[in-house]
Amino acid sequence: MTWATDRLDGLIAGGVELPPVVTTLGLGVVEAWGPGWVRKGWTPRPEVLNGDGSLFGGYLAALADQVLAFATMTVVPDTAYFRTTQLQIQFFRVGRAHPLEIEARVLAQTKQLISVEADFRRPDGELIAKASAQQVLTPNTALAPERTASGAVLTAHDPADHPTRDPLSL
């Protein structure tokens, strides 16, 4: 287990406080995950629809960023955090006020980058959008030992000592 997979489990169990952006935008949380994949359902609220009843595309981009981060969390090493460096979304059908099934998966992983993609489908299986992202890995300094100028280890950190250092408040 890693900090990220522990967080995914906590989100599913309901034992993690959601950050304000998730509650404000009504993004919801992940429903299932395994190594390299996540799945969630989501139903648009009336507030995210355009005047003609279509789903606002920028909102889907926010939802894509979240679900792609969840997929990344299934494989990110315990020694790293990550940030989205590129996000693309392609629309195939107009989204409406119907439930969506969203699945995201890891496509490739190196020491510095994780590439992910997601499908947004209506209940009838029709693909309405596809998103992809690249996540850059950065050191998880909360888990790194303190060192002297010469490189000698002073102490090992407990991530619980740094509750405000979690850059991924998903």
Domain ranges of the chain: 3-165
Extract long-range pairs of 42-49: CB within 8 Å, 24+ residues apart. Answer: 42/99, 42/100, 42/102, 43/97, 43/98, 43/99, 43/100, 44/95, 44/96, 44/97, 44/98, 44/100, 46/97, 49/96, 49/97
Distance CA 56, CA 95 (A): 8
Architecture of domain 3-165: Roll (3.10)
pTM of the model: 0.83
Instruction: Please name every residue paired with 105 in a beta bridge, in sequence order, or none if there are none.
Output: 37, 117
Could you report the per-residue pLDDT of 45-78, keeping only the tens digit for each?
A: 999 999 999 999 999 999 999 999 999 999 999 9
The pLDDT of residue 13: 95
The pLDDT of residue 146: 57
Distance CA 109, CA 113 (A): 6
Distance CA 136, CA 23 (A): 26
The pLDDT of residue 145: 52
| Helix (H) or strand (E) run with residue 61 in it | helix 57-73
Could you report the per-residue pLDDT of 114-157, keeping only the tens digit for each?
A: 999 999 999 999 999 999 999 999 998 776 555 555 555 554 44
Indicate the range of 8-12, 97-101, 118-122, 147-151 predicted with least confidence: 147-151
